[in-house]
Amino acid sequence: MNVAVICTSRLELISCSPDFMRAALQGTPILVDYQLPSDFPGDLTGLMYRRLKQLENNPLEQPYLVRSVVFAGQMIGCVGFHGAPSFAGRLEVGYGVFPAFRRQGFALEAVDGLLDWARLESGVKTFVASVSPGNVASLALVAKFGFAQVGRQWDEEDGEELVFELPVSG
């Protein structure tokens, strides 16, 4: 599936195809137009397995799933949704920037670009974000967008999470 790149002022958000994820997980060379971290997929291994399984079940979800965040020809993180919008129009965002690139506004810019893109998709009514109570940077990021805390949940991988929602306007 050919998925359009989302461009922001400094970033390109490039969809990770099933072939890209398979190659990364198998440790085989990956041909992309940007530089990957030397330890790729590293900490993203679990995410790649989960998203690849989703795509095997429903290839039409690819535009919503994991995207490489690319700055100056280098992958600096990932951003994406946990899946396509739910029946109720909920869309949960996830993001991460590699340590060397944090505190430069890249996560904010990547999430903003992704949310702007998703606002144009039919059926999206609410954005959701789940954040660890100790993740100060992510708590600040969701606050900047106006997400409001609506509850708490327990995630098997991440432990306790605060759940935030942001209604889609317009």
The number of C-alpha atoms within 13 Å of 135 and in the hemisphere containing its C-beta is 17
CA distance 123 to 119: 9
Check pLDDT > 80 for residue 1.
no
Retrieve residue 79's tokens.
């951003």
- DSSP of 74-87: EEEEEEEESSSPPT
Q: Which of 92, 40, 84 is nearest to 62 (CA)?
A: 84
CB 91 within 8 A of CB 128: yes
Burial of 84 (0-12, 13-18, 19+ CB in 10 A): middle
Highest mean pLDDT of the ranges 81-85, 119-123, 155-159 = 81-85
Range 6-167 has CATH code 3.40.630.30: yes
pLDDT digits over 83-107, tens only? 999 999 999 999 999 999 999 999 9
At residue 170 the predicted structure's pLDDT band, cuts being 50, 70 and 90, is low
Closest C-alpha to 90, from 144, 160, 166: 166
**Which residues are registered as beta bridge partners of 95?**
79
Mode of pairing for the β-strands spanning 90-97 and 126-131: parallel
Task: List the domain boundaries for the chain.
Answer: 6-167
Contact 95, 110 (CB under 8 A): yes
pTM over 0.85: yes
pLDDT at 91: 96
Average pLDDT (68-82) is 97
Which position has the token pair 């690849």? 52
| 88 SS3 class | coil
Q: Residue written as tokens 């993740």?
A: 135
Gap between the Cα atoms of 60 and 75, Å rounded: 24
Summarize pLDDT for 124-142 with one digit per residue, the tens: 999 999 999 999 999 999 9
* Segment 22-72, tens digit of pLDDT: 999 998 878 899 999 999 999 999 999 999 999 999 999 999 999 999 999
Beta pairing, strands 126-131 & 148-155 = unpaired
